[in-house]
Chains A and B, each alone.
Chain A
Amino acid sequence: DAGVTQSPTHLIKTRGQQVTLRCSPKSGHDTVSWYQQALGQGPQFIFQYYEEEERQRGNFPDRFSGHQFPNYSSELNVNALLLGDSALYLCASSWGTRENTIYFGEGSWLTVV
């Protein structure tokens, strides 16, 4: 049973560019959340998708957007990249019921230069 998979694992972008990160949830999971983890910090919640809709959003600007597909996979898009967007981006999946367990992927390392 594959867990949460993310791609790419590492990438380097130039300031002002746009980036798309991808996530496939654990089998049977229908809810996907994205987190940003800066170096030396705890993860910060960006947003969550359920039934292809953004259900909840953290304190991130509109440059951060996402999408969930009918097969529950998800994309995170970041426009107009800033140096401060350099971080590990983690995808987490869960099943939309009470007392569910949240599983994280290995993350995508984004470096903005």
Chain B
Amino acid sequence: AQSVTQPDIHITVSEGASLELRCNYSYGATPYLFWYVQSPGQGLQLLLKYFSGDTLVQGIKGFEAEFKRSQSSFNLRKPSVHWSDAAEYFCAVGALVGGGADGLTFGKGTHLIIQP
């Protein structure tokens, strides 16, 4: 069974500082990987995704993530955070089944706090 671990429940970062959110996955085949962000009381917004090809993927809002197969990781990074980045971040893994996307497995999320 596939699983996702986000080891950090809470992370506090100063505004302007760099950010790295960790994600480790367990999956038997080639995964496809996502990072989503969720503001309080809102749905999920896609930040970026990885299916194949270049292991460094660029997303919206200045985020990027690197897929490392040997470490089963897909960490999210941003060089300089803004106060508006404060939110809950979810890593998710899935597979492609029969030509279509199957259900995603999500981690428990990392709550990002931005200090002024």
Contact = CB atoms under 8 A, between A and B. Distances in A.
B99 A96 contact: yes
Contact of A102 (B52, B97, B104, B109): B104
Contacts of B49: 101
Contact of A42 (B52, B90, B100): B90
Contacts, number: 75
A46 to B, nearest CB: 8
A48 to B, nearest CB: 6
Interface in B83-112: 90, 92, 96-109
B99 A43 contact: no
A34 B68 CA distance: 29
Given A42-B109, A43-B90, A43-B106, A94 B43 contact: no
Contact of B43 (A56, A58, A97, A106): A106
Contacts of A43: 44, 90, 104, 106
